[in-house]
Amino acid sequence: MQLGNFKVLTFDCYGTIIDWETGILRALDPLRARLPQRIADEAALETFARHESAQEAETPAMVYSDLLAVVHRRVASEWHVQASDAEHLAFGQSVGDWPAFPDAASALRYLKRHYKLVILSNVDRASFARSNRRLDVEFDAVYTAEDVGSYKPNPKNFIFMLEKLAAQGVRTQDILHTAQSLFHDHAPANQAGLVSAWIDRRHDQQGWGATMKPPGTPRYDFRFESMADMVRAHKEALTKG
């Protein structure tokens, strides 16, 4: 199996091309500053992951920016920190401020020359539009949780995307799903029969960060530590013919 075997790259966005963990931690800093003892980054991300995953399951049709405001309220309550409604809403609107990984924009520009690029993301369209300004690439399609009415890892999100792409003549075997999260993406991609590439952004860190632990051991067909590594592998494959 070679990277050149595919015609479409479907991407998770947050954690894969947008550095959501850095963005989340920055947006949580006002809460953490009020704690008697500052909570470590990994512990803060784990708290976020628990509440985000639970809220997505409880309110699958809620727009992500609104959902994040609820998550912020839940985190503040767990940490016994007072926060205003305005602060909860600000956290929900922080997605557009989350930085892109340094290699993301250039990698996407390169890959765009060889593939159609598609987003399958757990955010709302308005939040993604703000993030996309940092990426400087036009995606061929964008499918969000707002469009589907559910959040990954719900299989509905992948079914929705595959049906939309099939209507454009794209076959499942022509797609390589590219993502960091084993929980949100690779496990349901396995169920959907997709080949996948793991962008292992947390290769030098312990734990699961801002995602929940995946069920079982999700399969992936390629592994890269960054988008830049994926580009290098594609270039090497081209030179080898």
* Interval 10-35 mean pLDDT: 97
pTM over the 0.85 mark: yes
- Give the pLDDT confidence score for residue 241 in this predicted structure: 65
CATH topology of domain 3-19+99-240: Rossmann fold (3.40.50)
Contact of 170 with 201, CB cutoff 8 Å: no
Please confirm, yes or no, whether 136 is among the known catalytic residues: no
Per the prediction, the chain carries an average pLDDT of 96
- Give the pLDDT confidence score for residue 32 in this predicted structure: 96
37: left (phi over 0), alpha (psi -120 to 50) or beta: beta
Of the candidates 12, 19, 124, 185, the residue annotated as catalytic is 12
Q: What is the Cα Rg of the chain in Å? A: 18
CATH topology of domain 20-97: DNA polymerase; domain 1 (1.10.150)
CATH 3.40.50.1000 residue ranges for the chain: 3-19+99-240
Which tens digit of pLDDT belongs to each residue from 134-187? 998 999 999 999 999 999 999 999 999 999 999 999 999 999 999 999 999 999
13: Cβ–Cβ under 8 A, 6 or more apart, which residues?
119, 121, 123, 128, 131
What is the share, in percent, of the chain residues with pLDDT greater than 90?
A: 95
CATH 1.10.150.750 residue ranges for the chain: 20-97
pLDDT band of residue 38 (cuts 50, 70, 90) is confident
